[in-house]
Structure formats: structure tokens, C-alpha cells
Amino acid sequence: MDYIVLAIPVFFILIGLELLISRLQGTRLYRFNDAISNISCGITQQITGVLAKTALIIAYLYLYDHWRLFEIEDNILTWIVLFIGIDFFYYWFHRMAHEVSLFWGTHIVHHQSEEYNLSVALRQSSLQGFISMIFYLPLAILGFNPVGFVTISAFQTLYQFWIHTRVIGKMHPWIEFVFNTPSHHRVHHGRNPKYIDKNHGGTLIIWDRMFGTFQEEEEEVVYGVTKPLASWNPVWANLDWYADMWSDLRRPMSWGDRFRLLFEKPGWLPDHLGGYRAPQEIIPGKAAIYDTEIPLGLNYYILFQYLVVLAGTTGFLFNTDLFTTWQLWGIATLIVISVMNIGGLFEGRMWALVLEMARFTFILVMVIVLWNLSVISTAVLFSVAIISFLSQLWIWRYRTLFGRGI
């Protein structure tokens, strides 16, 4: 059972509650384009993450079936030990994902938002699962049941949703001492030099206290990464770091230095190219934040399209067993293109306008195919056709905005 998918409605209820609290307090915790970008990264991760989850489960099952050292029974005590084990290995994965440049590229997506709210919890990398899985495999060799591992891993991940908020301040000292809290995790998302690479714990903060990576929340946190993404495109968000790495690898250096660049700390260069590029000091409240402005009507268009994409994605994730492999790939591709295109609309890209028009044609072809296969009803076919036609008229009104950037 995929508990994370089942929790999707709860995620959005809590985001709505945080928005309400923000409005009542007169604070601005959300920006529309940023929140949409965060959720789009989460959608992309859920769609593409199926491969990583499958690889992890296959590897875990193989090691458990052929190489386990012990027969560990399932009971409350062993599940507590398993939870501690999962959180321990998560700490080391998370720490290495910040300290090894190649791994940082699989995790940086989660840190790119320059806001901090519950939507940031959904901002996840599509590549991270292929690296994180390696760190958990010792649990299979020790003999922890795969079902227990998958279940507790899901709840360890779910715990980390609520700590992505500015609404909750510091909690009782004993809670702050043992558990990861919103205060500790705000530090983790900071790009203030004193906050970088601190507080890697998942559920427990004691690992950071034990291994020297703990930092109390002191000065105001400036959120984001040292080299801002400056894009709302969730696909590019997963590639931006590696594009920068490729540029560095093409600079004049030995092959040994190129290998080191992959596994050294992010920002490392050989001495003859200037050495380590340390993060710049940041003055809270004065850091530039990436933003774009578009007409209100285009914002409403994006909101409408996004609600349709969210509904379709949720239905897809809850009913993947109803589709053939080709249908799965087709729908998954459509969803990823849709959220990528919405990012392009926020940025005023001409390719986004062209792709948006083509997307509706693709949607119509797909629903006709599904209708012929009796997967969807005639009512659904006509509803999609009408929405597609009206959407094309709506977006065409703003055609003059595209091609020059916003």
C-alpha cells in the first residue's frame, strides 16, 4: 500500500489550512508561481519515481531473500529498531546528498524554493530515489522484513511533511532536543553560510547532535540555494545542477580532477581554477528572490489547468493497475509535459504557448483512443473535448505575451 499517495488529500487540506492561517495573521507565506512549481516537482517525482521505487524493492527483496544474516521477527520492538535504523541511514544519505556533488544533483530540487511552506515538502527530486536506495540496503542484509521496511519508510517520509512551515515556532525543549522540528528544518533549508549543510535528520535530530551537524535556529533564515534556479520548470529543476557540473567538467583540468569534482563538496574546483567557491554572506531581508508577473487572467487560466492536472494525476496514481504499460507511459508523459508547460507559461516562453496548443491535441487523441478501448465513457470524451476547445481559446488571448519572456 502506497501510504504517501493515500496521504495526498491530507497534504492539500493542510496546505489550505496554512494558507488560511497566513491570511488571518496577515503574513505572506505563499506565492502562486512558487507553490505551483513546488507541487509540479512533486507530481513529476511521483510519476517518474515509480522506477526508483521498483528498483529499491527489487534490490531489497533480493538481498533479503539471498543474503540476510538473521531471521528478525515482526513485533513492536523490532519495528522500533527498524524505525531507528531507517532514520539513521536516512541521516547518512541526506548528509552525503549535501556533501557529495554528484549526489547533490539528486537532492537540490528540494532546496530550490525561496519560500518555506508546506508546498515545499512536496518539492522532490525525480532522481533522488536512485541514490537513497543504496543507503537502506544494509537493513535487508540484517534481515528486516521488506513489508516492514516499506511501511515504516513511508511514515518516516510522511513525518517530514509538517516540519516545512513557518507557522510553528520553537517547541518544548525536550521535543526540540530529540525530534526534527519546523525550527530545525528551517535551518536546513537556509542558504545563510552558517546554516548550510546542517540538520540532516529525518524524524530524529539526535543524529546531527551526535555527528556534529546540528545548528540552532538563530538569525533569520534566507531560503533557497546559493545559485538560484530562476525557473518555474520542474523538469529543468532536475537538470540545472548537472548542466552546471557539465560546464565545470569541460574546463581545463586533469581527468583525476574531473573525477574528484564529481565526489567533492558542491562548489569544489581544483586550485588552478580558483579552488572551492564558498557561499557568499547574505543579509536577511535583502536577498533577491526570483519572481515573474503575468496578467491575472493568465493566472486564472493556469489555476484552472492545474486543478485539472491535479485531479487527473490523483486519479492516475490511485488507478495505475487499470492501464496497460503503453497507456501508463502515455498518461505519465502527458502529466509531466503539462506541469513543465505550466512552468513555461509563468516564464512567458514561446515554446510553452506552442506546446500548450499541441498538448490539447494530444489529449484529444489520447481520450479518443481510451474511449475506443472502453476505458472511459462517452461523457468523459465530450467533457474533455469541450474543455480542450475552450482552453485553446482562453490561452490564445494572451499570445502576444509569449516569446519575449516575462
What is the per-residue pLDDT across 240-280, written as a single tens digit (0 to 9) for each?
999 999 999 999 999 999 999 999 999 999 999 999 998 88
What contacts 24+ positions apart, CB below 8 Å, involve 188-192?
A: 189/111, 189/116, 189/120, 189/164, 189/221, 189/223, 189/224, 190/221, 190/222, 190/223, 191/222, 191/223, 191/224, 191/225, 191/226, 191/279, 191/282, 191/287, 192/219, 192/221, 192/222, 192/282, 192/284
DSSP annotation of 266: T
Report residue 97 CA to chain centroid gap: 14
Q: Which residues of 297-335 are buried (b: 16+ CB within 10 A; e: fewer)?
A: ebbebbeebbeebbebbbebbeeeeebeeebbebbbebb
Give the per-residue pLDDT at 405.
52
Which of the pair, 4 or 185, is modelled with greater confidence? 185
pLDDT at residue 4 greater than cutoff 90: no
Pull the grid cell for residue 42. 512533486
* Residue 282, phi then psi, degrees to nearest 5: -125, 135
Residue 185: closest CA among 174, 171, 367, 324: 171
Which of the pair, 316 or 61, is modelled with greater confidence? 61
Pull the grid cell for residue 392. 485553446
Pull the grid cell for residue 69. 544474516
Give the per-residue pLDDT at 381.
84
pLDDT at residue 370 greater than cutoff 90: no
Residue 294: closest CA among 180, 401, 375: 401
DSSP annotation of 322: G
pLDDT at residue 168 greater than cutoff 90: yes
pLDDT at residue 283 greater than cutoff 90: no
Average pLDDT for 324-335: 84
Positive/negative CA dihedral, 73, 76, 77, 83:
positive
Give the per-residue pLDDT at 1.
61
Average pLDDT for 222-228: 95
What contacts 24+ positions apart, CB below 8 Å, involve 170-176?
A: 170/217, 176/205
How confident is the prediction for the chain on average, in pLDDT?
92
- At 170, is the secondary structure helix, strand, or coil? coil
- Determine contact, residues 201/220, Cβ cutoff 8 Å: no
Query: For a pLDDT cut of 90, what percent of the chain falls above it?
Result: 72
Pull the grid cell for residue 18. 496554512
Read off the pLDDT of residues 386-400 as tens digits, 9 standing for 90 and up: 888 898 899 989 988
Pull the grid cell for residue 180. 526534527
* Residue 43, phi then psi, degrees to nearest 5: -60, -45
Report the range of poorest mean pLDDT among 59-68, 85-94, 317-326: 317-326
Read off the pLDDT of residues 96-112 as tens digits, 9 standing for 90 and up: 999 999 999 999 999 99
Q: At what angle do helices 32-67 and 146-159 cross, to 10 degrees?
A: 160
Query: For a pLDDT cut of 70, what percent of the chain falls above it?
Result: 99
pLDDT at residue 303 greater than cutoff 60: yes
Report the range of poorest mean pLDDT among 210-219, 341-350, 383-392: 383-392
